[in-house]
A and B are shown apart, each in its own frame.
Chain A
Amino acid sequence: DAGVIQSPRHEVTEMGQEVTLRCKPISGHDYLFWYRQTMMRGLELLIYFNNNVPIDDSGMPEDRFSAKMPNASFSTLKIQPSEPRDSAVYFCASTYGTAGNTIYFGEGSWLTVV
């Protein structure tokens, strides 16, 4: 299996622009997660889906962030408008069943907002 695939790997954008991050989970996985990692706050869970349905979005920092999962093989995390403080690495991850199973992470999307 190709693993969790994220795009873009790197993005530099100007403040105020819309940013869309994309994720393809591992086939057969029914859970999908979006994490954000910064030096100050470490790894934070933003939102997770089960069978394409958002289960908990309490980690989403504010209304500028939104996530969708239109089908089992695709998810997006959108930031509109972007701000410099959104600069971080955004990881998508997936698993099946329970957290007792391995959570597989993608390589991350490195976002810089200038």
Chain B
Amino acid sequence: LAKTTQPISMDSYEGQEVNITCSHNNIATNDYITWYQQFPSQGPRFIIQGYKTKVTNEVASLFIPADRKSSTLSLPRVSLSDTAVYYCLVGDIYNFNKFYFGSGTKLNVKP
């Protein structure tokens, strides 16, 4: 089981790029890296998923180095509405019982 380590919290200002790094030293060959976002009083929402190198979608980018022992979620030009908790999950996509949410990173975007 690949345990993940993320910063507990981060502060940023509107318009800045935010990078949240997740460490997963014990990642297994079949494990994928997935990030979810959770706003207060809501359920988590999928942001992005990747296996290696770089993945980009309309809201974020995910950078994964060759050794896959860490990953970085990049949010371009954050706004106040990006204030949320961001969870990094590492697990075998074919085994849901090994797909754990960690403690997450509380991102606070300031005006």
Contacts and interface: CB of A to CB of B under 8 A. Distances in A.
A31 B96 contact: yes
Contact of A107 (B42, B102, B103): B42
Contacts, number: 54
Interface in B32-54: 32, 34, 41-46, 49
A90 to B, nearest CB: 10
B93 A42 contact: no
Given A100-B32, A100-B49, A45 B100 contact: yes
Interface size class of B (residues with CB under 8 A): 20 to 34
A58 B97 contact: yes
Interface residues on A, range: 20 to 34
Interface in A5-58: 31, 33, 35, 42-43, 45, 48, 55-56, 58
Interface string A68-110: 0000000000000000000000010100001110111111100
Contact of A103 (B46, B94, B104): B46
B100 to A, nearest CB: 7
Interface string B74-111: 00000000000001000111111101111110000000
Contact of A108 (B43, B94, B95, B103): B43
Contacts of B43: 4, 91, 93, 105-108
A16 B38 CA distance: 31
Please provide the 3 A-B residue pairs with the shortest distance between their CB atoms, ordered closest to farther.
A105-B43, A43-B101, A100-B93
Interface of B: 32, 34, 41-46, 49, 87, 91-97, 99-104
Interface of A: 4, 31, 33, 35, 42-43, 45, 48, 55-56, 58, 91, 93, 98-100, 102-108
